A and B are shown apart, each in its own frame.
Chain A
């Protein structure tokens, strides 16, 4: 199984600012994903982070709001831009060795926007 770390673990940010979340995997993986989990809710997929190309976003999520980078097979970042209180949530990255294989999650980043 992959071991995944995220930074920061939590942050409190002001409205209108941006925050970049980092995700590091301890081994090379084919697939990396970003999810959001709002209080009391299940996980919602934001996008698939593609190595060397633009991320693939799910309905309701756009690149201008959630730009994603994936420069190599072990690292990805998610930026939450121009934040509003509605962006307060837990953001999770996950990784999978290959398509359809098990996905493992990082510890999450708890974001509060004031």
Chain B
């Protein structure tokens, strides 16, 4: 079982819709959870982080964490073509090291 799992996609949504990206992790000791956006040929850009159960909102982005189910998700409201990218879920334990999922490719169609 992979430590951090994501559906590789592509996930295709129409412009203006809500994109829902999901991630599961295996280490119950994980403490910090991150979502990175990576455009082709660029390095990962941190867009959301969450440490506690529940929802965290920042603009059009909402991160959701459920530690009991070992599940973290990212919702993107009012999706734009510029949101088309690969979204990487990363999980950190008490060592500070990040374990990345394989990434989900999001395509937002005009």
Contact = CB atoms under 8 A, between A and B. Distances in A.
Interface of A: 1, 31, 33, 41-45, 48, 90, 92, 94, 96, 99-108
B44 A43 contact: yes
Contacts of A108: 42-43
The interface residues of chain A, by DSSP majority, are classed as strand
Q: Considering residues B31, B49, B96, which has the most beta carbons from chain A within 10 angstroms of its beta carbon?
A: B96
A42 B92 contact: no
Size bracket of the B interface: 20 to 34
B96 A96 contact: yes
B100 to A, nearest CB: 5
Contact of B88 (A42, A44, A104): A42
Nearest to A103: B98
B96 A100 contact: yes
B96 A43 contact: no
B46 A42 contact: no
B13 to A, nearest CB: 22
Contact of B100 (A43, A101, A102): A43
Given A1-B46, A107-B43, A45 B94 contact: no
Contacts of B49: 102
